[in-house]
Amino acid sequence: FRKSDLLPLVTTVALGKREAFAAWRTEALLSAVVVTSLLGLTGLIGWFLIVDIRRRTLIENQLRGAQQQLILSNRQLELLAMKDALTGLANRRCFDQTLAKEARRAQREGTTLVLLMIDIDYFKRFNDTFGHVAGDVCLRAVGEILEDSVKRPSDLVARYGGEEMGIIMPNTDGQGATVVAQLIIDRLERKNIRHNSSPFGRVSVSIGIIAAAGSQLDSLVGFIQGADRALYNAKALGRNQFAVGTL
């Protein structure tokens, strides 16, 4: 304001609201633009982070699923590698590994291990008479009878080679093994699989049995040979029976 020197007046001059707040509005608008831009940028960064996290999570889940599938596939391959393709019994590889493992257990725990070696009587004649397809059916049928004749999960029935099969029975004595052997012979008789080229007129088996304490299992070769000798004795005695061998 200013007082007039000539007149008794006081002149007052002031800015209007628009002019007074113009600078503030400009600054406020600029601040709002900056804040909005920062919020938008922060939101955009957050969105990218969320998308990246989801993508990583998806990839990790896919990798985890692939890893689990690989583990499952490997286990299935291991099982297949231990199975005989024709009979579904354990194969020779599984037989050898299990026999070695159970021999170590018997030595460690002081228990007895039993091995039964089973051979189908006159099997070559059976193949020559009925053909190899029928021979395969016969092998599977005998394998099923062997598996049905042992009840414990620890017992292993395996195809040893050709028409020869083996049963590993941990913590069993010779008497228990003879019960199983006779059960196999009786069940095959009841099954009555026709075999015209056999003197019995049906499929039969010869069985060699060997039982040994853990302290006698230093040589698995000798253990198997003992079962084989018993098997040969059963054949020499007329087949369709079992014989018990010694080390």
> Which is catalytic among the residues 102, 109, 147, 163?
163
Structure tokens at 20: 């007074």
Any catalytic annotation for residue 27?
no
Q: Which positions are annotated as active-site residues?
A: 163
